[in-house]
C-alpha cells in the first residue's frame, strides 16, 4: 500500500496515479521514495506487462519537485536530492517493461522530467510542459537538461529552460515532446491503455531489448551530462539566488535575483 500513490492493475497494465492534488502532485520525499518502490514492483511483478504514470485531479500531472522541502538545504543535500531522484528516473527509463506518461495537466520541473523519463508520452489538450527551475534560481535536477535536449534539440531546449516558459500541448506535440494529444481529456487513460495493449501483445523479451538499445542510442544512463547536472543542481543550493527564488515562490511574490 502506498501513501502518496494510487495503483490499479487491470489487463496487465499498472496505472500509477500520483495523489497529492492539493499540491498539484508535487514530488515530495514520500512521492519520490514511493515512485522508487512502485518501479521495483513494475520490474518484479510478473502480472505487470506495462505501466502508466499519471497525476490525480484535473489540474496537474506533476508541478515539480516540492519546493517547500528545498528551504535551508546545503549544496551537498541538494546534490543528494538530485542523485536520488535521478536514480529512480533512470530505473523508469531503463525498465524492460514499457512505462507511458499520461500527462493530464501541468508537467513542470520534475513533472516534465518524470514524463520524459517514461518511454513515451500522451497528453490532454490542457497539458502544459516546462522546466521553470530558473525562476527559482535552480536548474532541472532529475535529468531534464539531458532528456529535453535529446527529445527536442539543443536550441529549443535551451530556450525553454532559460525562459522557464510553459509549452502548450500543441507546441509540445510539434516539438516531439509528446507522442499524441488525446482530444477528449476523459479518454486520456483509456487511449494510453489502448496503446499499451497493442504493445503488451508483442514479445516481452524483444520489447526489453528494444528499450535497452534505444537507451544506448540516446545515451540515457547515469554518466556524463546527467552526473554534471546533479552536481550543478547542488551548486545552486549554495547561492543566495536559490534561497530568494524558493522563498519568493512560497511567499507568492516575484523573486529579486542578484547573481550571487
Ligand atoms: N512545490 C510545492 N508546492 C507546490 C508546487 C511545487 N512545485 N507547485 C504547486 N504547489 C502548491 C502551491 O504552493 C499551492 O499550495 P497552497 O494552496 O498551500 O498555497 C498549491 O500547490 C496550488 O498551487 P497554486 O500555485 O496556487 O496554483 P496555480 O494554479 O495558481 O499555479 C502553477 C499553478 C503550476 C503555475 C504554480 O503552482 C507553480 O508555478 N508551481 C511551481 C512550478 C515549479 O516551479 N516547478 C519546479 C519546481 S523545482
Q: pLDDT band at 17, cuts 50/70/90?
A: very high
Closest-CA residue to 99 (of 87, 116, 83): 116
Q: Is 133 a catalytic residue?
A: yes
Give me ligand 1 centre to Cα 207, in Å.
Answer: 37
Evaluate whether 61 touches 54 at the Cβ level (below 8 Å).
yes
| Predicted pLDDT of residue 33 | 98
Phi, psi dihedral angles at 121 (to 5 degrees) = -135, 135
- Where helices occur in the chain by DSSP H, the ranges are 29-44, 75-93, 110-117, 144-152, 154-163, 169-175, 188-200, 204-217, 225-237, 240-250
pLDDT at 164 over 90: yes
pLDDT in tens, 138-160: 999 999 999 999 999 999 999 99
Percent of the chain with pLDDT strictly greater than 90: 98
Clarify whether 113 is annotated catalytic.
yes
Residue nearest to atom 8 of ligand 1 (CA): 63
- Atom from ligand 1 closest to the CA of residue 70: 48
**Residue 205 C-alpha from the chain's centroid:** 26
Pocket test for ligand 1, best of 18, 24, 234 (most atoms within 8 A of CB): 24
Nearest CA to ligand 1 atom 21: 23
C-alpha 30 to ligand 1 mean position (Å): 17
Summarised one tens digit per residue, pLDDT across range 187-203 is 999 999 999 999 999 99
Burial code (b: 16+ CB inside 10 Å, e: under 16) for 17-31 equals bbbbeeebbbbbeeb
Q: Report the mean per-residue pLDDT for the chain.
A: 97
pLDDT of amino acid 2:
97
40-82 pLDDT tens trace: 999 999 999 999 999 999 999 999 999 999 999 999 999 999 9
Closest atom of ligand 1 to 135 CA is 44
Smallest CA separation from ligand 1 atom 2, residue? 66
Strand (E) or helix (H) holding 60:
strand 60-62
* CA–CA dist 16, 40 (Å, integer): 13
Please identify which residue in the block is written with the cell numbers 527509463: 93
**Shortest-distance Cα residue to atom 39 of ligand 1:** 63
Is pLDDT above 90 for 222?
no
> How far is the centre of ligand 1, averaged over its atoms, from the C-alpha of 98 (Å)?
29
Rounded Cα distance, 93 and 118, in Å: 6
Residue 116's pLDDT band (boundaries 50, 70, 90)?
Answer: very high
Amino acid at each position: 500500500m502506498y501513501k502518496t500513490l494510487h495503483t490499479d492493475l487491470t489487463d496487465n497494465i499498472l496505472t500509477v496515479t500520483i495523489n497529492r492534488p492539493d499540491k498539484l502532485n508535487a514530488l515530495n520525499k514520500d512521492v519520490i521514495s514511493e515512485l522508487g518502490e512502485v518501479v521495483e514492483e513494475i520490474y518484479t511483478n510478473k502480472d505487470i506487462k506495462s505501466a502508466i504514470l499519471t497525476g490525480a485531479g484535473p489540474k496537474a500531472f506533476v508541478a515539480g519537485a516540492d519546493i517547500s522541502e528545498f528551504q535551508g538545504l546545503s549544496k551537498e543535500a541538494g546534490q543528494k536530492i538530485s542523485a536520488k531522484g535521478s536514480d529512480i528516473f533512470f530505473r523508469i527509463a531503463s525498465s524492460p517493461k514499457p512505462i507511458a506518461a499520461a500527462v493530464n495537466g501541468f508537467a513542470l520541473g520534475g513533472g516534465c522530467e518524470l514524463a520524459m523519463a517514461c518511454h513515451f508520452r500522451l497528453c490532454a489538450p490542457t497539458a502544459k510542459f516546462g522546466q521553470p527551475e530558473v525562476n527559482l534560481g535552480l536548474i532541472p535536477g532529475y535529468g531534464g537538461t539531458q532528456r529535453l535536449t535529446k527529445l527536442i534539440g539543443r536550441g529549443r531546449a535551451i530556450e525553454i529552460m532559460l525562459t522557464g516558459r510553459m509549452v502548450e500541448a500543441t507546441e509540445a506535440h510539434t516539438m516531439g515532446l509528446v507522442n499524441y494529444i488525446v482530444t477528449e481529456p476523459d479518454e486520456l487513460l483509456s487511449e494510453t491503455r489502448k496503446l499499451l495493449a497493442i504493445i503488451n501483445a508483442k514479445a516481452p523479451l524483444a520489447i526489453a531489448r528494444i528499450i535497452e538499445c534505444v537507451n544506448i542510442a540516446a545515451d540515457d544512463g547515469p554518466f556524463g551530462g546527467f552526473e554534471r547536472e546533479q552536481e550543478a543542481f547542488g551548486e545552486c543550493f549554495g547561492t543566495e539566488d536559490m534561497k530568494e527564488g524558493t522563498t519568493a515562490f512560497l511567499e507568492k511574490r516575484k523573486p529579486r535575483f542578484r547573481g550571487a
